[in-house]
A and B are shown apart, each in its own frame.
Chain A
Amino acid sequence: MSRTTFRTPSALPGFGLTFGFTWLWLTLIILLPLGGVILWAGSLGLERLAQIASDPRTLSALRVSFGLSLLAAVLNAVFGLILAWILTRYDFPGRRLVDAAVDLPFALPTAVAGIALAAIYAPNGWIGQWLPFKVAYTPLGIFVALVFIGLPFVVRTLQPVLTDLDRELEEASATLGADRPVTLLRVVLPTLFPALLTGFALAFARAVGEYGSVIFIAGNVPYVSEIAPLIIIMKLEEFDYGAATAVATIMLLISFALLLLINLLEAWTRRRLGHVR
């Protein structure tokens, strides 16, 4: 195969070496191991796969993981938008500190976040004791943990878009007679929508696979507050690789399908909106 058809010629050296190394490392560390999981699940046969997938306890865990991740991502989309907005548009004391604090979930190890959230939302915890309902050790606790880890994705996706947002759009809307709420709703929000969708998708994808911060606060009650990753761990402890890989494959497939869908939606809106200057 002629290389010139594959890559544009360049005077710089090292393409073969770095390109080859990148693929080799990627294959060894990521592709082969992931392929192993899918292969193992695939070798089980459809009947066994269907049996694992329809196990009520597994189904319930998948429902909990995906359902609560969706709810958490929705809440994060709302408050992430508010936070990104106040951080880029308003000046208030401590703005830089708040901006840095948004990254806490990235910086704080998940296990640390997990035990901290469990401690404060426990029935006798700092926040838990004031609430008339239980948070820790219920699905609500899982929700709290998923909100915690998802927030920075929305804020960090929106911030650069908001910074680049052309103020003339809002001024144009005002000169045409639209008051501020109408401008925000009909001009600003639709412009931000693709970025908001991306942030939402990232937060959602992260939440679905989250384990460390959830496991301490979830209570892990079968059929109530067990998450899908926990099922994988349980199956592994029973040395049931088949069931573990099957659940993992289901999680991977649903996540990728959703990400693909959102990517397509985003590509579609971007193509339509284009870049107008």
Chain B
Amino acid sequence: MSADVAAAPAARLIANPTTESRAARLLLIGLGLGFLALFLVIPLFAVFAEAFRNGAAAYFEAFGDPDTQAAIRLTLLVAAIAVPLNVVFGLAASWAIAKFDFRGKSFLLTLIDLPFSVSPVVAGLCFIVLFGANGYFGPWLDHHGVQVIFAVPGLVIATVFVTFPFVARELIPLMQEQGTSEEEAALSLGANGWRTFWSVTLPNVRWALLYGVLLSNARAMGEFGAVSVVSGHLRGLTNTLPLQVEILYNDYNFVAAFAAATLLAGLGLVTLVVKSLLEWRYGDEISSKHRK
């Protein structure tokens, strides 16, 4: 505006050759953030807004429902079984894949990633076909009084299916990067295999393991499609929290549905925060692919 604003030195006027003009930058940032808000952020706020639509009292009242309470307990139980199973598998698979060279390794890696590209509904269907009343092993199981489908074992096994790759795929790249020299050093110093694993390998991957557990747990507690197929929706018995949300929603009990959903959304947010902290603080120790 004022005349005494000195002209910038001529050299200043040259645009940085590896970035866009200011207008283009602002436009791109605007587009990106607008898109993110529209599709990702607003839905998150909506969950909480809908849950508190009729005030805090109505919100807390929703948790008095014994069916909802049972669903919370069941969700915790399923995750408490499925996640440790994934940890054991993830550690075994990453040890075999990252520390040894063998033929067909990439094929094995592809198979481990398979659940990512299978619809959760198909995952559930798998176990109906195997263990359902009309399934391959259903009649035999029925005869022996074992119930898998429409019971806790079915929920666990379907959850294990969909969360199968999470721990392994966090550990494998990191352990491959770390190589085998530290383990070989430990062995040469007289440590046995278990000791080497506990004192050398595990401490080296602890943050990546935590990261994998976190993601695996979030998915285990939040899984909907696969457990929906195998649960049978028995209220108070085989309904996990996401299924309870569905039932409440379909009963037009919106406040209760969204109240239950806030628990799951909270779990997701906590997962995100811890995940971001882990990446920020221990990025190098998680894996090079998380480098920021």
Q: Contacts of B235 on A, CB cut-off 8 Å?
A: none
Interface of B (DSSP majority class): helix
B146 within 8 A of A: no
Assess whether B225 is in contact with A211, with CB atoms less than 8 Å apart.
yes
The one of B108, B161, B193, B221 in contact with A14, judged by C-beta atoms closer than 8 angstroms, is B193
Assess whether B164 is in contact with A19, with CB atoms less than 8 Å apart.
no
A46 within 8 A of B: no
Near B by CB (< 8 A), chain A positions 208-263 give 208-212, 216, 228-229, 232-233, 236, 239, 241, 244-245, 248, 251-252, 255-256, 259
Assess whether A22 is in contact with B89, with CB atoms less than 8 Å apart.
yes
Question: Once the chains are docked, how many angstroms separate the CA of A86 from the CA of B224?
Answer: 33
Near A by CB (< 8 A), chain B positions 102-125 give 102-103, 108, 111-112, 114-123, 125
A111 within 8 A of B: yes
The one of A21, A92, A101, A114 in contact with B40, judged by C-beta atoms closer than 8 angstroms, is A101
Question: Once the chains are docked, how many angstroms separate the CA of A184 from the CA of B114?
Answer: 35
Assess whether A26 is in contact with B215, with CB atoms less than 8 Å apart.
no
Minimum distance in angstroms from A27 CB to a CB of chain B:
9
Assess whether B225 is in contact with A108, with CB atoms less than 8 Å apart.
no
* A236 and B128 in contact, given A10-B100, A101-B40, A126-B42 (Cβ under 8 angstroms): yes
A144-152, A192-200, A269-277 - the one binding chain B: A144-152
B139 within 8 A of A: no
A37 within 8 A of B: yes
* A8 and B121 in contact, given A36-B136, A83-B32 (Cβ under 8 angstroms): no
Q: Contacts of B102 on A, CB cut-off 8 Å?
A: 6-8, 15, 19
Question: Once the chains are docked, how many angstroms separate the CA of A228 from the CA of B122?
Answer: 10
Minimum CB distance partner of B268 in chain A: A107
Minimum distance in angstroms from B138 CB to a CB of chain A:
10
Q: Contacts of A100 on B, CB cut-off 8 Å?
A: 272-273, 275-276
Question: Once the chains are docked, how many angstroms separate the CA of A14 from the CA of B19?
Answer: 51
Question: Once the chains are docked, how many angstroms separate the CA of A19 from the CA of B99?
Answer: 11
Assess whether A40 is in contact with B242, with CB atoms less than 8 Å apart.
no
Minimum distance in angstroms from A91 CB to a CB of chain B:
10
The one of A105, A114, A174, A210 in contact with B119, judged by C-beta atoms closer than 8 angstroms, is A210
Minimum CB distance partner of B53 in chain A: A119
Q: Contacts of B242 on A, CB cut-off 8 Å?
A: 109-112, 212
The one of B125, B157, B183 in contact with A232, judged by C-beta atoms closer than 8 angstroms, is B125
Q: Contacts of B268 on A, CB cut-off 8 Å?
A: 104, 107-109, 112
* A116 and B119 in contact, given A33-B129, A34-B126, A170-B18 (Cβ under 8 angstroms): no
* A256 and B117 in contact, given A19-B100, A112-B261, A116-B261 (Cβ under 8 angstroms): yes
Question: Once the chains are docked, how many angstroms separate the CA of A153 from the CA of B6?
Answer: 48
- 0/1 string, A133-177, CB within 8 A of B gives 1: 000000000001001100100000000100100010011001100
Minimum distance in angstroms from B91 CB to a CB of chain A:
8
Q: Contacts of B225 on A, CB cut-off 8 Å?
A: 110, 209-212, 229
Assess whether A92 is in contact with B29, with CB atoms less than 8 Å apart.
yes
* A112 and B47 in contact, given A19-B102, A170-B18, A171-B17 (Cβ under 8 angstroms): yes
Q: Contacts of A233 on B, CB cut-off 8 Å?
A: 121, 228-229
* A10 and B180 in contact, given A19-B102, A96-B276 (Cβ under 8 angstroms): yes
A residues sitting closer than 8 Å to B (CB atoms) are 6-8, 10-15, 17-19, 21-23, 25-26, 29-34, 36-37, 40, 79, 82-83, 85-87, 89-90, 92, 96, 98-117, 119-120, 125-127, 144, 147-148, 151, 160, 163, 167, 170-171, 174-175, 180, 184, 202, 205-206, 208-212, 216, 228-229, 232-233, 236, 239, 241, 244-245, 248, 251-252, 255-256, 259
B residues sitting closer than 8 Å to A (CB atoms) are 15, 17-21, 24-25, 28-29, 31-33, 35-36, 38-44, 46-47, 50, 89, 92-93, 95-97, 99-103, 108, 111-112, 114-123, 125-130, 132-136, 157, 160-161, 164, 180, 183-184, 187, 192-193, 196-197, 215, 218, 221-225, 228-229, 242-243, 245-246, 249, 254, 257-258, 261, 264-265, 267-269, 271-273, 275-276, 280, 289, 291-292
Cβ contacts A to B, 15 pairs, < 8 Å: A12-B183, A12-B184, A33-B129, A33-B161, A34-B122, A82-B28, A99-B276, A109-B218, A111-B246, A115-B258, A151-B39, A170-B18, A211-B120, A228-B119, A256-B117
Shortest 4 CB-CB contacts between residues of A and residues of B: A209-B119, A109-B222, A33-B126, A212-B224
